[in-house]
Amino acid sequence: MTATTDGSTGALPPRAPSASDATAEKKAASARTRNALREDTADAARRASARATDHLLSLQDPAGWWKGDLETNVTMDAEDLLLRQFLGLQDPELTQAAARYIRGEQCPDGTWATFYGGPGELSTTIEAYVALRLAGDAPDAPHMAKASAWVREQGGIAAARVFTRIWLALFGWWKWDDLPQLPPELLYFPKWFPLNIYDFGCWARQTIVPLTIVSAKRPVRPAPFALDELHTDPRRPNPPRPLAPAASWDGVFQRLDKALHLYHKVAFRRLRRAAMRSAARWIIERQENDGCWGGIQPPAVYSVIALHLLGYDLDHPVLRTGLASLDRFAVRRADGARMIEACQSPVWDTCLATIALADAGVPADHPQLVQAAEWMLAEQIDRPGDWSVRRPQLPSGGWAFEFENDNYPDIDDTAEVVLALRRVKHPDPQRVEAAVRRAVRWNLGMQSKDGGWGAFDVDNTSPLPNRLPFCDFGEVIDLPSADVTAHVVEMLADVGRTHDPRTRRGVAWLLAEQDPCGAWFGRWGTNYVYGTGSVLPALAAVGIPRSHPAVRRAVRWLEGVQNDDGGWGEDQRSYQDKERWAGRGASTASQTAWALMALLAAGERDGEAVRRGVRWLAATQREDGSWDEPYFTGTGFPWDFSINYHLYRQVFPLTALGRYLNGGPAVAPVGA
């Protein structure tokens, strides 16, 4: 420094901060804040992931599988009691345990809903009420009087769905003449003929065939009491239903039903008997090794009734094992209540649990993952089923949803099992590869002609079955869906078939199916959050750029429907009222995870929406590593049949946290 004449040094005075300096400092401070938030979020995610991993590992069965309870609605429990009443197999202890569960599910307004927090549903309320009457509840008890008053306000028994009125007809509470007809001769329709049995989805097909026998036999067992309190006018319990215009589809099928009623009176008896024998043979050929039918409760119930009406004694091996299989759908609760599962989901739960644990960083050769893979390998189906009616030359190789269901493997489970197996380091890799090759070949062979995939069948898209007056119980056809198609596309990319023309057709189908709002409809999960959570990881897996307009629209939609608490939720009512409910509902662990999986695949790891979602999962986790989730986020039939998969609240949050921390399909790990 040099001295000046005034004795000061020659140092320059401090420079005043410029506007650009202030902007740079703000950016730096903002970056430091973001990094701190990112680190805080990552730390919270690590703790939550570790707890969730330990909890999920603890739930594995010694045989290698996982299975959470599959909760639906009380019609399963009511119809179980009605079946036992019809067959004369009442058990007082079982009846009271079932009644305890049914009473516990009643809503404050006296109704029963089909999903948690949902509105009362007429047919469900009627069946629950009748079941409680069978259990001894008096009609003038406050909870019963409230229920019957609501039923009358909604139109009474006459306004109930067909299946409810069939159950009531079995006891003389409704007239068979006032029910739609489906004759057993339906089985003789050739496979190319409209409304042949293979035009129905497999779940409907398994139910309708036995019900054709029930409809032809029209049995009535004496009712133990009257149900006058459930009619709007007990003097006219069976009011006629108005006819739709003859030029409409509904009018056409109503008049067809009238013709079938006339046919019932004049049917050629030898032909009718032969048709019922053919239906019985069809049913028996599809009984599984454990005695059930299709691994689901409703077809088992109706198959038992149908065969019993044809003279099969309850001690006959077919009925004895069938009845025994129904007991395996029962779940005993801590309070002694008995809940009936509509079906069981061990294959689905096991492949999802395996994916979750692997994505969370559990080593690929971890003994429990290897054990899960071993169990899944043993469950691969190696014989043809009903799917082969339309694909007779296609070798088998799929997986079903349930413990025993060799006749109906499904495309969704097969795709996810492949993704799970490929995450495990199995000691016999050649065995795994062979299983994967068979599965991929089968899934590719099950592609529908429009490029998408349905759940169980190929091109099961005829609009006619849904028009039948008999079919008012939910979806009866198996249309290709975005969620199933996305899972198949993701699997095909994982096995190196990204550029296969069939994969590209699937991708094109997905892009064409995007809703204008930016989301995808969810057929088997609720709803637009599930569809979008399935599709974006698939698009990322096949290399669709994150900048693609479809991806950006989906991201904007997810960000726009995020709840103020940071989570995501969607109510079942979005199936009926998209404008009000799509992407709207109380935050749930599974739906928050689906949204996160989608956003992570779209490259939004450092976005505010992902950070808030991850922190919501961490903040709502229980001490034992699980999450509460009373809401129903699974779908059997959109709106008509909703499911609470009790393991969803565990596997999907762990998958999302794992992909946030460790990367995953098309996602880079933290810090990359």
Confidence at 34, pLDDT banded by 50, 70, 90: low
450-463 per-position pLDDT tens digit: 999 999 999 999 99
Q: What is the largest CA-CA distance in the chain?
A: 130
**Beta-carbon count within 10 A of 567 CB:** 24
How far is Cα 344 from Cα 81, in angstroms, rounded to an integer? 20
110 pLDDT higher than 60: yes
Q: What is the pLDDT of residues 576-633, one digit of tens each?
A: 999 999 999 999 999 999 999 999 999 999 999 999 999 999 999 999 999 999 999 9
- Average pLDDT on 103-122 reads 98
User: Is residue 10 predicted with pLDDT exceeding 60?
Assistant: no
- Residue 20 has what pLDDT? 65
573: which residues sit within 8 A by CB, 6+ positions away? 118, 580, 581, 639
pLDDT for residue 2 is more than 60: no
Lowest mean pLDDT, pick from 108-112, 469-473, 520-524:
469-473
> Which of 214-228, 459-473, 497-511 bottoms out in mean pLDDT, i.e. has the lowest?
459-473
505 Cβ partners below 8 Å, 6+ apart? 447, 451
- In this structure, which amino acid lies at residue 144? M
pLDDT of residue 1: 43
- Is residue 543 a contact partner of residue 504, using CB atoms and an 8 Å limit? no
Domains of the chain: 54-70+343-662 (1.50.10.20), 73-229+252-340 (1.50.10.20)
Distance CA 532, CA 528 (A): 6
**The one-letter amino acid at 237:** P
DSSP state of 239: P
Q: What pLDDT score was predicted for residue 474?
A: 79
Contacts of 221 (CB under 8 A, 6+ apart): 85, 86, 170, 171, 172
Predicted pLDDT of residue 468: 85
**Separation CA 507–CA 164 (nearest Å):** 41
pLDDT of 471 strictly over 90: no
What's the pLDDT score for residue 25?
62
Average pLDDT value for residue range 110-127: 98
pLDDT at res. 237: 81
Confidence of residue 161 (pLDDT cuts 50, 70, 90): very high
Residue 461 burial by CB count (10 A; 0-12/13-18/19+): exposed, middle or buried?
middle
Q: Are 69 and 341 in contact (CB under 8 A)?
A: yes
CA distances 388 to 250, 410, 451, Å, are 32, 12, 19
Predicted local distance difference test score (pLDDT) of residue 318: 97
Each residue of 535-556: pLDDT tens digit? 999 999 999 999 999 999 999 9
| Model pLDDT for residues 562-584, shown as the tens digit of each residue | 999 999 999 999 999 999 999 99
In the structure encoding, which two tokens stand for residue 640, read together? 């008509």
Report the pLDDT value the prediction gives residue 83, as an integer from 0 to 100. Answer: 97
| For residues 155-167, average pLDDT | 96
Residue labelled with tokens 């042949």: 196
- Nearest CA to 574 out of 646, 515, 486 is that of 515
23 pLDDT above the threshold of 80: no
Confidence of residue 174 (pLDDT cuts 50, 70, 90): very high
Question: Mean pLDDT across the chain, nearest whole number?
Answer: 93
Is the pTM here over 0.85, yes or no?
Answer: yes
Contacts 24+ apart (CB under 8 A), 246-250: 249/467, 250/467
Lowest-pLDDT range of 208-222, 366-380, 385-399, 653-667: 653-667
Q: Which of residues 32 and 406 earns the better pLDDT score?
A: 406
Please give the Cα distance from 423 to 350 (Å, whole number): 13
pLDDT over 70 at 15, yes or no: no
Residue pLDDT, tens place only, 354-370: 999 999 999 999 999 99
What gap in Å lies between CA 299 and CA 242, rounded to an integer? Answer: 31
Distance CA 79, CA 77 (A): 6
Among 77, 80, 406, 412, the one annotated catalytic: 412
Is 483 designated active site?
no
Report pLDDT digits (tens) over 511-535.
999 999 999 999 999 999 999 999 9
Q: Check: CB of residue 418 under 8 Å from CB of residue 439.
A: yes
pLDDT in tens, 41-74: 999 999 999 999 999 999 999 999 999 999 999 9
